[in-house]
Homo-oligomer: A and B are copies of this chain.
Amino acid sequence: MLISESKLRKFTLDIFMAMGCSEDHATLAADVLLRSDLRGIDSHGVARLSGYVRLWEKQRINTQPDIKIVHESYTTATIDGDAGLGLVVAPFAMQVAIQKAEKYGSGWVSVRNSNHFGIAGYHALMAVEQDMIGFAMTNASPLVAPTFSSERLLGTNPMCYAFPAGKYPPVVVDMATSAAANGKLEIAQRAGKQVPEGWLQDNAGNFTTDPFALKSGGALLPLGSDKEHGSHKGFGLSATVDILSGVLSGAGYGPWVPPFVAFLEPPANPPGKGIGHFLGAMRVDGFRPAEEYKADMDNWIARFKSAPTIDADKKVIIPGEPELEAEIDRIKNGIPLVDAVVNDLNELALKFGIDTL
């Protein structure tokens, strides 16, 4: 079913308000989820709304959080999200980073005691709107095994780097640090298909193509898939995200990051609080005049877009381009939702006594 952005946005806002969010927080949280659906990242949009509701029902999400800075310097800060929605906590933190960058050239904020923050690109793009380079990353519940290990110790820990350009749209590198994102497994599960070798290992640590392997003790693999192809690099990147988001802030890290799914209990005696994020902003004109930078950025994009391709039907994809194309299309034509998601959302509507889709 195709649904208009405005209708889905209003619906999502109503659900967040029914959960007890203030109107401001509900508007912001809905904006983060809708941006994901608009940008074609269906796994991180309203498809997760019922997941947030279940965590709130278990009192693991606080919809009236007192988000505050607990430690800071001129250009750095740690924020405690008070178990709030990451969809609200992360934009708050990015705003602090941007304010510091406005004054001092750069700003960096580590966040603890938060929850899932949606797509990293949303937060990084807040900086881009101010002619800044944006950074956003988060740790997540453990699904990925380090190279040579059979244990899930890391999340798919995404990192995002977003760069303003001139006449071209921004370059947005927004990626899980695992070989494949969990959402791709779910697609294969629904379709009853095998997945490529190199995405997953079984509980003994062997490559498997069974998309259900995670449910029987398997693990996702770091970007690079195996040692010979650089999985230790994917592990290193994922570790970087975990340390900046979790260890630096005092959040949970490694196996102690609380699960997104409400049916799994958070680990006992965690060394830190909740999920951690790391956000940053740097003024472009802290390095050179913004117009000079943008002219070179446009030249960079144009040069890569015009690179010769291997197949006539495949062009070099500038990071962020497919998401922007989806956004333009879906704002105009509506957002496609699969039946399972529509049913899920309509159950929420019934639960909270609001109109179904």
Contacts of A223 in B (CB 8 A): 223-224, 230, 233-234
In the complex, per-residue mask of A25-41: 1 if CB is within 8 Å of any chain B CB, else 0: 00000000000000000
Q: Determine whether A63 belongs to the interface, using a CB cutoff of 8 Å to chain B.
A: no
Which of A72, A77, A224 has the most chain B CB atoms inside 10 A of its CB? A224
Judging by beta carbons under 8 Å apart, are A230 and B180 in contact?
Answer: yes
| B residues near A65, Cβ cutoff 8 Å | none
Interface centre among A146, A225, A233 (most CB of B within 10 A): A233
Q: Select one of B249, B271, B300 contacting A243, CB under 8 A.
A: B300
One of B75, B199, B254 near A286 (C-beta < 8 A): B75
Contact of A149 among B76, B198, B296, B316 (CB under 8 A): B316
Cβ B150 vs Cβ A310 within 8 A: yes
Q: Which of A5-13, A102-110, A333-341 contacts B (4 or more CB under 8 A)?
A: A102-110
- Chosen A-B contacts, 21 in total, with CB atoms closer than 8 Å, are A73-B106, A73-B286, A74-B103, A75-B104, A75-B286, A76-B283, A105-B108, A106-B106, A106-B108, A133-B244, A146-B316, A148-B309, A149-B307, A161-B240, A173-B237, A175-B237, A177-B233, A179-B224, A223-B233, A232-B317, A254-B303
**B-binding residues in A (CB < 8 A):** 71-78, 103-106, 108, 110, 133, 146-151, 153, 161, 163, 171, 173, 175-177, 179-180, 196, 198-199, 201, 204-205, 223-225, 228-230, 232-237, 239-240, 242-244, 246-250, 253-255, 271-272, 282-288, 292-293, 296-297, 299-300, 303-304, 307-311, 314-317, 319
